[in-house]
Amino acid sequence: MKFVGISELKNGASNVVRQVQRGGPVVVMRHGKPCAALIRISEEEIDQLLFEDSPLVKQAVKEALNDIRAGRVVTWREFLEHERRAKAA
């Protein structure tokens, strides 16, 4: 693991990113204390992070959990039957 100061990151961002791509995380230090970490990430992982951090997703999950707690649920078969009837109408 490598440690870099803010000024090293600012002046050599390309080199720091190359170090991250080659292997390990880089910890960014500010006034001698760690303040951030840079890690390798794949396209799939960034998609997951964006999805998990989405306010819309968080709200939908919150509403779904409230529905479950309130008993507003249907079985999978009930859902499929409802969809079948809606398409037939």
- Domain range list for the chain: 2-38, 43-88
The span from the CA of 64 to the CA of 57, in Å, is: 10
Residue-wise pLDDT for 1-24, tens only, equals 899 999 999 999 999 999 999 988
Q: What is the pTM of this model?
A: 0.56
Structure letter (DSSP) for residue 66: H
CATH tag for 2-38 (out of 3.40.1620, 1.10.1060, 1.20.120, 3.30.420): 3.40.1620
DSSP the chain: -EEEEHHHHHH-HHHHHHHHHHSS-EEEEETTEEEEEE----HHHHHHHHHHT-HHHHHHHHHHHHHHHTT----HHHHHHHHHHHHH-
Q: Compute the mean pLDDT over every residue in the chain, rounded to the nearest whole number.
A: 93
